[in-house]
Structure 1
Amino acid sequence: MYRHLAAILLAASMSTAQTPRSTTALHYPTPHTVPQVDDYFGTKVSDPYRWMEDLDSPETKTWVDAENEVTAAYFKPLTFRDGIHKRMMDLANYERFSMPQKRGSRYFYSRNSGLQNQAVVYWTEGLTGEPRELIDPNTYLADGTMAINSLSITHDGRFAAIALSEAGSDWQKIIVRDVTTGKDLPDVIQWTKFGGAAWLLDGSGFYYSGYDAPPDGDVLKAANFSMKVFFHKLGTPQKNDPVIFERPDNKEIYIFGGVTDDGKYLLITQQQGTSPNNELAVLDLTDPHAKVQRLISNADATYSPIGNDGSHIWLYTTLNASNGKVIAIDLKQPEREHWTTVIPEAKSKLDSVSLVHRTLIAEYLQDAHTQVELFDEKGKHVHTLALPGVGTAAGFGGERDDEETFYSFANFTTPNVIFRLDMKTLQSSVYREPKVAFDRTQYESKEVFVTSKDGTKVPVFLTYKKGLKLDGNNPTLLYAYGGFNVSLTPYFSATLIPWLERGGVYALACLRGGGEYGEAWHQAGMKLNKQNVFDDFIASGEWLIANKYTSSKKLAIRGESNGGLLMGAMITQRPDLFGAVAAGVGVMDMLRFDKFTVGWGWKADYGSPSENEAEFHAIYKYSPLHNLKSGTKYPSTLIFTADHDDRVFPAHSFKFAAQMQKDQAGPAPVLIRIETRAGHGGGMPLSKRLDVEADIQAFFLRELGVE
């Protein structure tokens, strides 16, 4: 649940002429129920499909097979689906690169030639050197489901620690490759999640975060507790890796370590689940006898390391600053009374900060789009970076003494362009620019502000073809997330172009619970305030209809993960407002989300349904599974999940689909699509992504009557 999946809507052809929905009768399976009843603070709650939580049972497998047959039968007569898929393939077939990362004299980057399932990592000697392949994950598995989660290079560019995951699982293994020879060392690290390797300055070993091995048979289901930071010395077996830091006092802590650029310190962050607040510890790596010291032991704010000059450390923090600020701490005098503010809080959210060429590069979000300001190390403003337009800039990585950095810029009509910023002259130059065959001048984007139920102004980005008629008849997709401090900002997707070409409107809503306006905005959509998120989304849909962009029968909505929960809440709270819904990998059983894999970490955002009575009542009131009602006419719904999703357990979608199919009183279809050898979305091969998108697109076209 760390990052939302970008909303991608793909189309081959579209018109605004009405066509009837499919009248083919759908015969859903009739799964058996069990008399499971749980007691939450005196409230009895039935869970008739509890057995679906056993993913490997014959009963569950039989039900999954039957549901897939129903879904396949729905799509079979939709002959236009193949045309959609072909169009998507054509549009996705363009060369794209990541920003280069410099280590020593070498630069590392990834490249996808167009239709490769996974990007290939290359390196060059110098910025303009001949590319040499470091690793091609496409060669590992025929179905393209081996993905690179992270890449950590030694300071001199000699070794690469590569975190790999299979079939979309969050579990990853770390291998070590000699960059020059391309050969792997015998070192292999298992049972890690979310983090990569943090190398010592001399490249003799690295720190990593890991777990104890899960029980056999429950690798994708068992709850993962008690993360630890280990040290691995090259040439030794993992079983000998010592634990450097752990928190036996709290098993629900995420712990990650990072080595400062000068190699002097290991900085260890500790956060309660997905809370943005954290504690901070430090280990002096120049002293072989040093022990880890608790630097900040109260997780009352975010404390994110930026860089250091010896014992002088710059941190990003939200301490007494909802929008964020930069402070400095001297490890020789670490007490709070000695902390100093370097960059004070501004009216816009300070989204991230890096330190390059002894310059603090601050990325702000102004109404959910980027502005970049440069400061010297004492906080004096020195430059405003001119961006190509309203959009999203990201990157700005590097070390304190580097003389260059790279960043990307994109928006809804601008492909992801990579720039090189000369830190001495502060001049930007285009380094990589993708070639996508479309005329961006035909489209326009604008930002509007929608008034939510309580009067809060909610930003919504709209993109459409110029000359759009506001007649209430435009097919429209509304996408949102609304949680976990995640900011939704403008982005580019080549596969969105056909939707726009055929007169479709794309709307991206920035709801409370996200991070667009700082921590106060986040808190306004979490725990007891979660209903604000749903109210914001409903207001966005109503605004689109009231302003004649679309109508209920032409309005499709989509969300994944926490956004899938949002879709479930929309289905149960306002089934009349939307024509079609695509709910992906959603958290639908909000009373049991904390029972599987890393779900316990989400209590920081959702609250605890089994430990806090007030939070239980708030959650129970909106939990999608528990608010379905028999005899209700629900909108056309496509639920999609994956068999290897070990972030949001697939049973969330299974139980919701079974109950919704049972309760549906209207003619609209309720389908579930279960992808094989895939997970929460990260690392999914391009071929599978396009298959999913083609199905969702065909579903929307059919159900909105615009095929």
Structure 2
Amino acid sequence: MRLTLLAVLLMSAPAAAAPITYPATATVAQTDIQHGVPVADPYRWLENDVRTDPKVAAWVAAQNTATDAFLATLPGREKIRARLTQLWNYERFGVPRLRGTTQFYTRNSGLQNQAVLYVEQPGTPARILLDPNPWAKDGATALAEWEPSEDGKCLAYAVQDGGTDWRTIKVRDVATGTDLTDTIEWAKFTGIAWTRDGGGFYYSRFAAPAPGEKFQSTNLNQHLMFHRLGTAQAADTLVYATPDRPKLGHGAQVTDDGRWLIITSSAGTDARYEVTIADLARAEKPRTLIPGLDHSWNLAGTRGTTLYFVTDKDAPRYRLVAVDALTAKLTEVIPQGPATITGAAMSGNRFIIETLSDAKSVVDVHDLTGKLAGTVPLPGIGSASGFEGGDTPLTYFAFSSFATPATIWSYDSATNKAAVIRTPKVDFDPADYTVSQVFFTSKDGTKVPMFISHKKSLDLTKTHPTLLYGYGGFNVSLPPGFSASRLAWMEMGGIFVQANLRGGGEYGAEWHDAGRLAKKQNVFDDFTGAAEALIAKGLTTPQQLAIQGGSNGGLLVGAAVNQRPDLFAAALPAVGVMDMLRFNRFTAGRYWVDDYGDPANAADFKTLLAYSPYHNIRSGTDYPAILVTTADTDDRVVPGHSFKYTAALQAAKLGDKPHFIRIETRAGHGSGKPTDKIIAEAADLWAFAGHFTGLTK
């Protein structure tokens, strides 16, 4: 008989009456004067690297011990973990990449900690090309970026250890399945771009950090390099760098015809690029094609000397343009429409244009003149992704929704025919769930959408425990997507809600701009507006509402709790940016000034101080239960953010609900996390949030 959480979870009372005792956290007399304002930072020492500071390591151990002890008291926790294990145990496929007639794709049989890379050719069974699961006993060493050469004979792949953003790149012979001698170190925030002849590839790297600074030092002066197969990394060629502008990062693409090297450079994460090109056929040195960092430019394809880009120049919802590689003359091909263009690829003699229409995927096909030639048949409300470009009309994509795991489709752009090629088999019936979209009015009158998903059988005349998720930043869109963990929450009888807040990219550049810099407060207002709308609709109550977000979304949760602690029963901020006055001093933090502003600027400082989660905890006010999550190897948002925030929560008088932190070991910002760690963390989160929202049937 299939195990269901509705049947097995036990009723439980709120937290124990006895006061919660947290591990002691030392303070230091640290006060900075910033723009004439004294700013106390008594937990500055918790910024130190847990690997090199024994005091921080001891604090982490004590916090985990306290958190584990509390979580162990929660009824239903182990049953949640058991059901999550069942739900995660399904076959998962990645979108194939086609090189000649060879497919390269990832597959996870179910509970493998890491997905395995396969190759498959017509008439022959698929075979394993690369299995990262034996790389580490704890499963925490992962296959990260990978790219086959154009002829399909070699695979360049990146190894990610313990969740770090640092990469080691290696090369595997596809026919034999053995590695070549090539090894690249200190790659980070990199792609892999092969030359057409397969003789080598472009990648991005930083200088090796000083001893002890690997996980904290600021990433500056990225270099674009070329590696020729069969040579040592020391012989790699510097292709492009901007030492006079060390904050620029550089990525490379080689066009499908092999002629053009396209270098996009940006100073932050808001996708405003400078475009530099080189004619590889003529061994041309890189030259600037589009100067400045004013607009987004994403390559869609090329024909001869014509380069096609998706851009927000004069089009906040984006358009497709042709740029002459010799003269830089720009011509519009597909104008801005009511939907937001999120991606484009040239497949054969067609453009595949991915768009979001009210945060839902719609994919159109146009001929090379820009004329609409059809719409890709998608199976419903959800998210479509993939559509790698190439010389042939055959491509692949994945489709998913909140209760629909990713199904892999083939698509022929010449005939507009799509067909399912791989379908996961799951331990639930997607037909038991429903997804709807509603709009609510935010504080300033803006209409904001959110998706609401739950079991069809749920009695909506009553209120229910609800999990509200948001992000709201960096032009990141949140279309519908599948998560086995969220499915478990809904199977338990909860409602899952995903809000499409300003700061994201759902409605283009204007939507993004309305939620960044001095307008960041709009994001928090949208999030609390979503909560209030759910309560007003009678779906939930403040005593049944939990909120969740990660990274920039962790910041969102921290700020929302400070501003409206009365509105939530539980909060789950993950790997959050919590100290808005020092975020740019570590690793990738300096990229984020595009969205947040620079603390060194007086006006930005005032805005940041007003909402910084660490600095605005309201002692003397009842707060919701909070379970902070982070990881010791997170070198994207260093864990010191969450450490300091948690210490401040525990020191303040915030009522009788607990404020704990869960610190994962050998894990990072999220990518590469092994399946067993994902399941264990989700079980803890749902047990915690369910306990304080009443989802304990």
Shorter-chain TM-score: which interval?
over 0.9
Q: Pick closer, same or farther for the CA change 1:473–1:572 going to 2, 3 Å.
A: same
- In the other structure, the counterpart of 2:486 is 496
Select 2:144's aligned residue among 138, 143, 149.
149
Shift of 1:200: 1.0
Contact kept? 2:632, 2:668, Cα under 8 Å: yes
Offset of residue 24 of structure 1: 4.9
Which of residues 406, 420, 424 is equivalent to 2:414? Answer: 424
Report what 2:673 is aligned to.
684
Q: Could you tell which deviates more after superposition, 488-497 or 208-217?
A: 488-497
Structure 1 unaligned blocks of 5 or more: 1-9
Pair 1:111 & 2:101 matched: no
Cross-structure match for 2:153: 158
Distance in 2 between the 1:299 and 1:456 partners? 29
Task: Extract unaligned runs of 5+ from structure 2.
Answer: none
1:256 equivalent to 2:251? Answer: yes
State the SS of the aligned residue for 1:552. coil
The residue that corresponds to 2:58 in the other structure is: 62
Quick one: distance in 1 between partners of 2:110 and 2:676? 11
- The answer to whether structure 1 residue 344 and structure 2 residue 338 are counterparts is no
281, 289, 293: which one pairs with 1:295?
A: 289
Distance (whole Å) between structure 1 residues aligned to residue 490 and residue 384 of structure 2? 23
Is 1:204 equivalent to 2:232 in the alignment? Answer: no
Deviation at 1:673, TM superposition (A): 0.5
Secondary structure at 2:106's aligned position in 1? strand
Q: Which stretch of the first structure deviates more once superposed, 570-579 or 404-413? A: 404-413
Could you say if the C-alpha distance between residues 492 and 181 of structure 1 is closer, same or farther in structure 2, counting changes exceeding 3 Å?
same
Q: Give the distance between the partners of 1:162 and 1:559, measured in 2 at CA.
A: 30
Indicate which of 44, 50, 71 corresponds to 2:44. Answer: 50
Distance in 1 separating the partners of 2:28 and 2:585: 19
CA distance in 2, matches of 1:203, 1:38: 54
Taking structure 1 as reference, are residues 430 and 167 closer, same or farther at Cα in structure 2, changes over 3 Å only? same
Q: In percent, how many aligned pairs have the same letter?
A: 45
Q: Contact conserved, 1:13 with 1:498, CA < 8 A, in 2?
A: no
Contact 1:18 1:706 in 2 (8 A): no
- Spell out the pairing of 1:24-423 with structure 2 (5 A cutoff): 24-55=18-49, 56-126=52-122, 128-288=123-283, 290-334=284-328, 338-399=329-390, 401-423=391-413
**One-letter amino acid of the structure 2 residue matched with residue 159 of structure 1:** C
Paired AA for residue 45 in structure 1: V
Give CA deviations for 1:578-597 in whole Å, capped at 9, x if unaligned.
00011100000000000000
Question: Would the aligned equivalents of 1:16 and 1:475 in 2 still touch at CA under 8 Å?
Answer: no
Distance 1:304 1:499 in 2: 37
Give the stretch that moved more between structures: 525-534 or 27-36: 27-36
Does the Cα contact within 8 Å between 1:99 and 1:109 map onto a contact in 2?
yes
Q: Does 1:447 align with 2:437?
A: yes
Match of 1:459 among 439, 449, 465: 449
Q: Distance in 1 between matches of 2:7 and 2:624?
A: 23
Distance (Å, rounded) in 2 between the aligned partners of 1:501 and 1:229: 48
Stretches of 4+ aligned residues off by more than 6 angstroms: 14-18
Cα deviation 1:227-259 (Å, max 9, x = unaligned): 010111111111121211001121111100111
Helix, strand or coil: the match of 1:286?
helix
Shift of 1:630: 2.2
**Matched-pair contact (CA < 8 Å) for 1:16–1:474:** no
Give 2:546's aligned residue: 556
Q: Is the 8 A contact 2:631 2:668 kept in 1?
A: yes
Moved more, 466-475 or 184-193: 466-475
Is 1:585 matched with 2:575?
yes
Q: How many angstroms does 1:41 deviate by?
A: 0.9
Deviation at 1:17, TM superposition (A): 6.7
Secondary structure, counterpart of 1:387 in structure 2: coil
Using a 3 Å threshold, how does the CA distance of structure 1 residues 230 and 11 change in structure 2: closer, same or farther? farther
Distance in 2, Cα, partners of 1:31 & 1:294: 52
Aligned residue number for residue 668 of structure 1: 657
* AA of the residue aligned to 1:615: D
User: Are positions 1:434 and 2:424 aligned together?
Assistant: yes
| Corresponding residue SS for 1:533 | helix
- Aligned-pair CA distance for 1:64: 1.3
2:611 to 622, 633, 636: 622
Instruction: Give 3-state SS (helix, strand or coil) of 1:598's partner.
Output: helix
Alignment check: 8 A CA contact 2:12 2:691 kept: no
What is the TM-score of this pair, normalised by structure 2?
A: 0.97
Q: 2:690 aligns to what?
A: 701
- Which of 628, 646, 650 pairs up with 1:639? 628
Q: Distance in 2 between matches of 1:99 and 1:686?
A: 19
Superposition deviation, residue 15 in structure 1: 7.6
TM-superposed CA distance for 1:16, in Å, is 11
Q: CA deviation at 1:494?
A: 3.0
Higher deviation after alignment, 171-180 or 240-249: 240-249
**1:472 CA displacement:** 5.2
Which residue is 1:3 aligned to? Answer: none
CA distance in 2: counterparts of 1:19 and 1:388, whole angstroms: 43
Cα RMSD after superposing both structures: 1.5
- 1:506 corresponds to which letter in structure 2? F
Shift of 1:412: 1.4
| 1:323–1:346 Cα contact (<8 Å) kept | yes
- Map Cα deviations across residues 195-233 of structure 1 (whole Å, 9 max, x no partner): 232111111111111100011111001111000101111
Q: Is the 8 A contact 1:589 1:626 kept in 2?
A: yes
Give a deviation string over 1:594-640, Cα, whole Å, max 9, x none. 00001000001100012x11111001000000101322211100001
Task: Return the offset for 1:423.
Answer: 2.7
Measured in 2, the distance between the counterparts of 1:275 and 1:393 equals 22
- Residue 590 of structure 2 aligns with an amino acid whose one-letter code is W
Output one character per residue of 1:154-199: Cα deviation in whole Å (capped at 9) or x when no partner: 1100010001110000001100010101111111001111223211
Whichever residue aligns with residue 162 of structure 2, its letter is A
Please tell me the residue identity of whatever aligns with 1:360: F
C-alpha distance in 2, partners of 1:78/1:12? 16
- Provide the C-alpha distance between the structure 1 equivalents of 2:23 and 2:462, rounded to a whole number of angstroms: 37
Output the CA distance in 2 between the equivalents of 1:69 and 1:25.
17
Distance 1:498 1:694 in 2: 9
For 2:311, give the aligned amino acid.
T
TM-score, scaled relative to structure 1: 0.96
Number of residue pairs matched? 691
> How far apart are 1:577 and its partner, in Å?
0.4
